[in-house]
Amino acid sequence: MSVKIPYCIVCGRVGVDFGKVAGRDVAMCPDCARILLPKVQALVEAAAPKRPAKAVEKITPEKFKELIVKSVDERGSLNVFNAARARGIPTAKAREIAEEIAKEKGWELQTGKMKIILRKPAPPAPA
């Protein structure tokens, strides 16, 4: 039984065994690995598939108002700022639209830091 000592494929010093690649034993010492690490990282980043940035669906304020009314009717409540961010509507315009809807429909408007929750009033309890 013989002990096989792995030698670095770059400089020939004792290194860490990576196994066989294309039928050859591959090993690398820590010094050579430290030198090659930035280049290998750049290669991995260049080879990675690029994901296209998700485009924000911009809509008109009137269409946004219709979507808000529909969502609150279905769900019962909605965070208007989150919906505005997803649709590319500025927060000041979203606040204005939410206040307008609350006045028209008689819905509750709950404001907080970076949130405006528009909700239907609770139905009256049966007597």
Residues 38 and 88 in one domain: no
pLDDT band at 3; cut points 50, 70, 90: confident
pLDDT at 13: 93
pLDDT digits (tens, 9 = 90+) for 56-99: 667 888 898 999 999 988 988 899 888 888 888 888 898 899 99
* Residue 117 predicted with pLDDT over 80: yes
Q: Quick check: is 7 in a domain?
A: yes
Q: Quick check: is 105 in a domain?
A: yes
Tokens (6 digits) for 117: 């929750």
Residues 3 and 32 in one domain: yes
8 A C-beta contact, residue 15 and residue 8:
yes
CATH number of the domain bearing residue 101? 1.10.10.10
Residues 40 and 75 in one domain: no
pLDDT digits (tens, 9 = 90+) for 5-63: 899 999 999 999 989 989 888 999 999 999 999 999 999 888 888 777 666 667 888 89
pLDDT at 124: 67
pLDDT at 89: 86
Percent over 70 (pLDDT), the chain: 91
SS3 track for 98-110: HHHHHHHHCCEEE
* Residue 125 predicted with pLDDT over 80: no
Contacts of 33 (CB under 8 A, 6+ apart): 16
In the chain, the N- to C-terminal Cα span, in Å, equals: 91
Residues 106 and 79 in one domain: yes
Quote the pTM value. Answer: 0.53
**Which residue segment(s) compose the domain that 73 sits in?**
61-119
Burial class (CB within 10 angstroms; exposed 0-12, middle 13-18, buried 19+) of 94: buried
Residues 42 and 91 in one domain: no
